[in-house]
Amino acid sequence: MNALLDVPAPAKLNRFLHVTGRRADGYHELQSVFQLIDWCDTLHFETRRDGRLSREDLRGADGDTPPLPADDLCLRAARALQSASGCPLGVHIVLDKRIPQQAGLGGGSSDAASTLIALNRLWGLHWPRSALMAIGERLGADVPFFLGGRNAWVEGIGERLKPLDLPPARFLVVKPAAGVPTAAIFQAHDLERATPPAIMADFVAHLHDCPRQPWGRNDLQPVAVRLCPDIARALERLADRGLAARMTGSGSAVFAVLPERYAPEDDLFRGWPDGWQVRVCCGLPEHPLIGWQKDAIM
C-alpha cells in the first residue's frame, strides 16, 4: 500500500458573519472573513487497490468526541472525486478528530478539503485546484475556502473568495459542551437576514486601528444563544476578564483575540465547566497544504 501520513485539516474562525439576504433557492447570502487557525484534525490515507472507500474514526484527545456519521464529509469527498475522475483506486482514511463538532469551526468542511487535496496527489490525478473547487462547492459552503488555502473575505454562500492578509494573532477559543445544529439557526424565524453589505476596506482599517476589538457582528449569534444558553455564559465570562469575544460561524464556539502577554496559569484558563474545551490558537497565514498545487485561483 502507498501511504500518505499526517495530513492536517485546520479549523477556521469567522471574524464576523453578516447575513445580507436570502436567495430564491433558500440559501442565504453571507459576508464574512475566514481566518485559519492551528487547531487541526489529522488524516492518514492508504491506497486501496480494490477501489473501496473506508474510514476509521480515532478518538480525539481534546475531550469526548461523539461518533462521526457513517457517511461523513471525508467519504463523500473521496466518493465524489473517485466518481468524477473515474479512478479505479480506493482509499482507507484514518481520521484523528480534534476539532469539535457543531462548533462553527468548519472541521467537517476542512476534512473534506484535505481529503480532496490528498487524494488528488495519492491517486496521481494531478487535477488543477479549479477542478477540486467544482467538487468542493457541492460538498459544503465552507469547503471552497479550505481548498483556496488563504485567509479570505468571503461572500455569496461561501464560494466567492478574496485573499486577505491578516496580521499574526493569538485567540482564546472556548467550546461549550453543547453544540448547535446549523440548520436550526438558518431556519429560525428571528434570524437577521437583511444586514447591509459591508466593505472590505472598512474591516481592514478597523483591524489596523483596533486589532483586539471585533468588527461588525455575527448575525447568527442571537439565535444560537437562544438555542444554546451556554454560549452566553462563555461570552460573559470572557467579557468579565476584559476580552471582547464573539461566536464563530453557527457556534457554539466563541473566541477572543488575546493580548500580547497572557499567563497560562491565570484563572482565565481554569474553572470552566466539565466537557468544555478551552484552547489558545494561533492564526495561520495560509493552509498547510497550499503548496501541494501551484494553480491557486485566489
Active site residues: 12, 142
Cα angle at 244 between 10 and 39, to 5 degrees?
Answer: 15
Q: What would the grid cell of residue 121 be? A: 496527489
- Rounded to 5°, the CA angle 159-144-5 comes to 175
Enclosing H/E stretch for 139: helix 129-139
In this structure, are residues 192 and 222 in contact, taking their beta carbons and an 8 Å threshold?
yes
Tell me: is residue 35 an annotated ligand-binding position.
no
**102 assigned to a ligand binding site:** yes
- Bridge partners, residue 162, by sequence: 153
CA atoms of 146 and 152, how far apart (whole Å): 10
Rounded (5°) CA angle 21-22-24: 140
Contact 249, 256 (CB under 8 A): no
Q: Which of 162, 160, 166 is nearest to 206 (CA)?
A: 166
Determine phi and psi for 80, rounding to 5 degrees. -65, -40
| Residue 104 annotated as lining a ligand binding site | yes
Which residues contribute to the annotated binding site? 100-110
Which residues contribute to the annotated binding site for ATP? 100-110
